[in-house]
Structure 1
Amino acid sequence: MRYLLLAFVMLALSSSARAQPDWSSAREVDVRLSNFKFTPDTIQLRHGEPYRLHLVNEASGGHNFDAAQFFAAAQVSTADRARVGKGTIELKKGESVDIRLVAPAAGTYKLHCSHFLHSSFGMTGQIVVQ
């Protein structure tokens, strides 16, 4: 019983720490979506650091920021989870959105626009977490 209580307390403390990142210290990362490219097309992040991903669609039509594996592994703020959906953020012409998250484990995560033929036209990139 004593070990069960200790395990519960440890779980509660780790869940509490994970659920409460300090968004005031989040670094802003600007990503521009334009006709068939992301700028930058390689996004560099550090594992465990909080970020505010600022996405701006500068194109004449809609685009999206599709990074399903990245978003599944990252700790996305509770307030922003609905906007991320199933790992894709849709942006209409001229729209911008901010997504707060804590960078996941180190690795390289694929990024693309999943609109018809946009990836074929070069709208791809990667998110590199160190």
Structure 2
Amino acid sequence: MFTLASSVGAQSTDDWRSARLLTIHLSSFKFDPSDILLDHGVPYTLHIVNGSSGGHDFASKEFFAQARIKPEDADKVSGGRVDLGGGESVDIHLIAPSPGSYKIRCTHFMHSMFGMTGRIVVR
């Protein structure tokens, strides 16, 4: 299932006040939503929530490398991933990169093997 975070007409701006909010829940071995649809050039606030007691991360090296991340949020993304301890949440403000499909996964031991994977599709 895709979660669509868009509206008619893409905007190319760094006006973070107009960023579209997208909440992504991390839990034991899944992302919700696991498929995310974004519009190229549009600002988003990714609100990533770890609802479990253990640690998880949201890793998409290619996506984060190509997205334009708000300078104040750049240190929240390390090596193409966002790490969250149990019960933590974080907001990442970014402008969606070029159209394409970007894999996401949790890099913690065996988490992706147990299904903690997904994709970001930018159109």
Give TM-score, length-normalised by structure 1.
0.84
Q: Deviations over 1:10-30 (max 9, x none)?
A: xxxxxxxx8x70000000000
Divergent runs of 4+, >4 A: none
Report the Cα distance in structure 2 between the residues aligned to 1:60 and 1:81, rounded to whole angstroms: 25
Give runs of aligned pairs for residues 62-101 of structure 1, distance below 5 A.
62-101=55-94
- Residue identity matched to 1:29: L
- Note if 1:49 corresponds to 2:39: no
* Count of matched residue pairs: 112
Gaps of 5+ in 1: 1-17
Partner of 1:3: none
Instruction: Name the structure where strand makes up a greater proportion of residues.
Output: 2
1:127 corresponds to which of 116, 120, 123: 120
Give TM-score, length-normalised by structure 2.
0.89
- Note if 1:116 corresponds to 2:116: no
Deviation at residue 113 of structure 1 after TM alignment: 0.1
Gaps of 5+ in 2: 1-11
Larger Rg: 1
Instruction: Name the structure where helix makes up a greater proportion of residues.
Output: 1
